[in-house]
């Protein structure tokens, strides 16, 4: 079955550490997204990428970094500069032509919980 | 700028009763509208979306929503809820032919009471 795989499901980070969340999709989608979810805050966009080797900052990119070297992969690194990283992180993707051109559906992974210890 | 407001953060409903989850949006240009559902500890999945045409949109699991342009609303309804509908529901909007982003509301948690 096609889908989006996020790993790990649970991750603990020590103060000052960088950690990387993996996101892989086998849907052949062009666009990929990272969202952060905090209780009562809804989803906030961290980064998105519409094609390989290109990505744009979202609304809360500070303290995060991404890469898009392959169409199917969009890893997110939470750096030590992110002062409050404890949250639920969601990776998502959409087919070609993006959201706003054709109203495409966003497909989400199962999410990753990151906790600072 | 566009925005989405979900008027209720939590909605308790008895099983088999009807429910309406309210969503209002703000935009000066054409938009697409979506409702997504998130079951506990999972990602989101699409319930339904409005792109154009009929203002009454039917989705999965017996849900439907009505687009009301004059009131800038897109309320979600179900005539009879089941315990399995316990989840968080997100309204979202994207602007037609604009930068490729979607704006989510803060969510409404639906509690089904036995």
CB contact set of A39 (below 8 Å; sequence gap of 6+): none
- Strands B44-50 and B19-21 come out as unpaired
Q: How many inter-chain contacts (A to B, CB under 8 Å) are there?
A: 61
Q: Which chain A residue shows the shortest CA-CA distance from B39?
A: A110
**Above 90 in pLDDT, residue B29?**
no
**Above 90 in pLDDT, residue A103?**
no
Of B91, B48, B100, which Cα lies nearest the Cα of B73?
A: B91
Rg of chain B taking only CA atoms, in angstroms:
14
Q: Which chain A residue shows the shortest CA-CA distance from B107?
A: A42
Please judge whether A100 and B90 are an interchain contact, meaning their C-beta atoms are less than 8 angstroms apart.
Answer: no
Burial A7-38 (b: 16+ CB within 10 A, else e): eeeebebeeeeebebebbbeeebbbbbbbbbe
Q: Which helix (H) or strand (E) holds B17?
A: none
Per-residue pLDDT tens over the stretch B35-48: 999 998 889 999 99
Sorting pLDDT into bands at 50, 70 and 90, what band is B96?
confident
Alpha-carbon distance of A73 to A105, in angstroms, equals 19
Please judge whether B43 and A109 are an interchain contact, meaning their C-beta atoms are less than 8 angstroms apart.
Answer: yes
Phi/psi region, residue B79 (left: phi>0; alpha: psi -120 to 50; beta: rest), is alpha
| The pLDDT of residue A96 | 67
Sorting pLDDT into bands at 50, 70 and 90, what band is A100?
low
Give the mean model confidence (pLDDT) for residues B76-80.
Answer: 98
Please judge whether A48 and B90 are an interchain contact, meaning their C-beta atoms are less than 8 angstroms apart.
Answer: no
| The pLDDT of residue B90 | 97
What are residue A15's phi and psi, to 5 degrees? -55, 135
**Which residues does chain A have within 8 Å of residue B37's beta carbon, measured at their own beta carbons?**
none
Residues B47 and B59 sit within 8 Å (Cβ to Cβ) = yes
| The pLDDT of residue A101 | 56
Q: What is the DSSP string of A10-72?
A: EEEE-TT--EEEEEEE-S--SEEEEEEEETTTEEEEEEEEEETTEEEE-TT-TTEEE--SBTT
Alpha-carbon distance of A31 to A95, in angstroms, equals 6
Alpha-carbon distance of B68 to B49, in angstroms, equals 13
| The pLDDT of residue B98 | 65
| The pLDDT of residue A95 | 83
Task: Using DSSP, state whether B88 is helix, strand or coil.
Answer: strand
Sorting pLDDT into bands at 50, 70 and 90, what band is B71?
very high
Q: Is residue B42 within 8 angstroms of chain A, CB to CB?
A: yes
Judged on CB neighbours under 10 Å (0-12, 13-18, 19+), B41 is exposed
| The pLDDT of residue B41 | 85
List the single range of A17-31, A83-97, B75-89 with lowest mean pLDDT.
A83-97
Alpha-carbon distance of A82 to B26, in angstroms, equals 31
Please judge whether A40 and B49 are an interchain contact, meaning their C-beta atoms are less than 8 angstroms apart.
Answer: no
């Amino acid at each position: 079955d096609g889908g989006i795989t996020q790993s790990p499901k649970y991750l603990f980070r020590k103060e000052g550490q960088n950690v990387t969340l993996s996101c892989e999709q086998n849907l052949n989608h062009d666009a990929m997204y990272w969202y952060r979810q905090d209780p009562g805050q809804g989803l906030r966009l961290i980064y998105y990428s519409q094609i390989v080797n290109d990505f744009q900052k979202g609304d809360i990119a500070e303290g995060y970094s991404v890469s898009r070297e392959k169409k199917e992969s969009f890893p997110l690194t939470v750096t030590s500069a992110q002062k409050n990283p404890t949250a639920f992180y969601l990776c998502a993707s959409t087919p070609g032509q993006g959201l706003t051109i054709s109203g495409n559906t966003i497909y989400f992974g199962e999410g990753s919980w990151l906790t600072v210890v | 700028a566009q925005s989405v407001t979900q008027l209720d953060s939590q909605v308790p409903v008895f099983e088999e009763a009807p429910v309406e989850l309210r969503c209002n949006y703000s935009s000066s240009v054409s938009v697409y509208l979506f409702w997504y559902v998130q079951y506990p500890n999972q990602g989101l999945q699409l319930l339904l979306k409005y792109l154009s045409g009929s203002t009454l949109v039917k989705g999965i699991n017996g849900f439907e929503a009505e687009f009301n342009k004059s009131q800038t609303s897109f309320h979600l309804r179900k005539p009879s809820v089941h315990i399995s509908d316990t989840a968080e529901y997100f309204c979202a909007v994207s602007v037609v032919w604009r930068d490729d982003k979607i704006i989510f509301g803060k969510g409404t948690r639906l509690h089904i009471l036995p």
